[in-house]
Amino acid sequence: MATASDTIRLVVFNARFSESQAKNVVEYIDSAIGMSDSIGDEAAYVFAAQLYSSIGFGKSLQNAFNQAITELMLEGIPEETTPKLYSKKNVTPNEIILVQPEL
């Protein structure tokens, strides 16, 4: 990731106990999401689907992350504290827009 860091803006570690990888990788890339505990298949699916959908609609990374957490709660999946968002120093997830949808 360090060699391609100028093109990678987000890495999502969807494996259990991947929070430390997310914390470490933001030394090289703008942002990362890791899991603080094991995450169930349904929770991982719901979280990822909402995260990527929100990103695709042009939401900021912070907004997309928040919407994905909210979707877990709306679905009654009690794992909303498992995903953790990290960013590089001097990078604000509210300012990261990964997709600019066409109007």
Domain that holds residue 34: 2-92
Closest CA to 96 of 61, 64, 48, 68: 61
Total tally of structural domains belonging to the chain: 1
Q: What is the DSSP string of 5-52?
A: TTT--EEE--STT-HHHHHHHTTTSSEEEEESS---HHHHHHHHHHHH
Q: Does 102 map to a domain?
A: no
**Which pTM was predicted?**
0.92
Reading the chain (103 residues) residue by residue, the pLDDT tens digits are 666 667 889 999 988 889 999 999 999 999 999 999 999 999 999 999 999 999 999 999 999 999 999 999 999 999 999 999 999 999 999 999 999 988 6
Handedness of CA 73, 79, 80, 81 (dihedral sign): positive
Q: Which two tokens stand for residue 99?
A: 């997709």
Q: Does 52 map to a domain?
A: yes
